Structure 1
């Protein structure tokens, strides 16, 4: 075994990440039944976030890639039969790009479909090796209008996400666009139209998921002694959902 082979063989023993939790999901975090690793730490503070317990890396447990892959192995056969795979989510997985890349690579080596769930805000941290190991990117586009984006995330701008999505399309990487619809916050016609035009311009977008805002994570804020910013906001009406989904469908996109 030469030096390069030894380095590749031992990489998983040395790389550690802050893992908040992991679970199995069906049809939510990519196709089929999936093992989903939720990493701890996120640079954004989305007003509708339902997992404030994943904001800080200190909220996660430090695990090596080997330790996490041992958990994946327990469900490997079930995942294969169910046509699923492994999704690395968060928090924001690109806050820990080396760990994320190793998990995706090792999962791919097992013959499992791989997905990365990211806001794209830290897309520049994803090197080609990480993306080579990624079969699908779930790209969370928070908003298009600059002022709305800042209201939603409390920081940053949409430009890094836009740049990352275009890079994925140029590479030929399949994309699922995700957009959280919040009445009175993200629902403006022009805001939705901007995302729809952007998604329609990416050749590898396979679907758009319009995710209705909900308050199911409100109890987590209470447990952490935090105020849930959207406690008084109602979920979108069927009429609003229909209008927004229609904006995406009008541009030839498959909408869910």
Structure 2
């Protein structure tokens, strides 16, 4: 049975190689297709990078299963055994329009428990990585434990759609939070926003709908530096089906639920 250290070593090499391929694609013309709507796009590079990971994992760890956004892995019905959860490009719109503010996200789960989490900011060449119980790192630098924060001094990452009319939450619930926070941001990549919370670059991230590959790699980063992770109801995340997401520095979870969300949140 493969050790976590062995999987971690291979994963880092593959992340870097995949990043090199993505940077090289900046000079080429992308083949862009629509998935569910005009804002839900996939490129030949999304598919190519997922295929790359599937081939590498299949060669090194043939007994492991793969849960990928573009569907090139296995038909995952449960998280038994070792499952690699991969988003080849998290932030495809940013990749297409900006060639930055996108990431590769990778999480390795063993019997439903996250053992390895990685988020690679390809443009900046910043690899955020963690092994459960061993802390989180940015490249070779260990990330410090997060300090407590309050809403009035917090930079909160939230998409503007959640404070305007939408189908998932009453926008009036989060509008006061946006008003009371020191500032808000939206980067267009859940994986990066999770990594930024772990690194202390932002204080919290809130969103109403994500798929497992969006957050499987990043949540372990946040947990390993003492951050808090839940869905918008305060419950444990559904790693298999996807969920809403609220991650924060210590102290913010309680304040946000007590003042803005308690008893009023919906998924």
How high is the TM-score relative to the length of structure 2?
0.28
Considering fraction of residues, name the structure with more strand.
Answer: 2
